Structure 1
Amino acid sequence: MARSTTGKSRFKIQRSLGIELPGLGKAGALERRPYGPGQHGNKRKKISDFAVRQKEKQKLRYHYGLREGQLVNYVKKAKKDKSRAWMDSLLITLESRLSNVIFRLNWAPSMLAANQMVSHGHVVVNGKKINVPGYTIKKGDVITLTDRGYASLNFTQAQATPRLPSVPACYSVDAKTAKVVDLPLPSDIPFEYAGQLVTEFYWKVKP
């Protein structure tokens, strides 16, 4: 299972990217400063074009809790889809990951918690337990949790203090059952990002 961080704290990740990423869960108030983190952060430093683009793709990587190799594989898959712009295809795929769906339904307080719920067999899709966080949901899928899932601390915590204010319109939620009524949209991404910069960062990646 991919970790949502690589040794750095959730706060430091968000501090370095200059943005709150909902998938990392609550990490304290993010104080915005006109300089970067660290003891030398207040020194003016020119940021390269590469660093600017890398920063944007890191937002996706950390929010969804992916390793770099996983994200690259998603990019390759998206570039094979000729039905729409590959960046849109990438975002729809990331939003369609089962762990993300559990998080967006406010059934888990963070993406890591959602990954754990799926991996531990607490998530049921169309009557069948699914333990793969990267499982892709489809239109018409019905998603529930096991009794242990509904009784888990992750679920009760997320229900008591939702990380996000609302559930995307592509999901219909009735009591403890959710149905996928449509595919997620790129506009459903719950944080600001510059898709063009991500496109430019991965322009050399072949399908």
Structure 2
Amino acid sequence: MNTDAAKQYSNLVFDLGAVLIDWNPRYLYSKIFATAAETDFFLENICTSDWNEEQDAGRSLQDATEMLISEHPEYEAHIRAFYGRWKEMLGGPIEDTVNILKALKESNRYKLYALTNWSNETFPLALLLYPFLQWFDGIVVSGREKMRKPQAEFYELLLTRYNIDAQNTLFIDDNQRNIAGAAACGIEGVHFTSPLQLKEVLAQKSILS
């Protein structure tokens, strides 16, 4: 017997960036730097993912920007562009995943939630740009809560706020670290690699036909 198909799910939780929304700083910095090597150096050594995650956890964009400029004054203009031109990092919706979300919404079989590492200062722009975010029954934004994936308290906040049972919940995220964080809280995860892969997994679990 297919145990995946036998299990009953009530709640589906989506990550947003790289699952439903295409966000990549390289979209911006490929316009700013002449070569891919310069872009890579800047994003790996100056405006790093670790630095960005602190904004996702609630640090203000202004504090983050000024701190980095004090450390790398020669890159001031490039650093200010990170949030000054942040919208240029957005590549648009990942349409095939949005279509999956739409089918799930129209099925009326599941509660749909989003759990996202995102700055509270930039998230309002996403709400304006992407109407499908209104389809969720609840969205928990790390920058608003001042905690983020993969911290256990962030997952527990989602479960508590919306009275969700971890045992009948499926969490979808492109970062294996975040899947492990969910598992530690008793939430089954799907490591998202593509819309097609997600569709196949959901079919295997009898969530989508």
- After TM superposition, the score normalised by the length of structure 1 is 0.26
- The structure with more strand, counted as a fraction of residues: 2
Choose between structure 1 and 2 for higher RCO, CA contacts under 8 A separated by at least 6 residues: 2
- After TM superposition, the score normalised by the length of structure 2 is 0.26
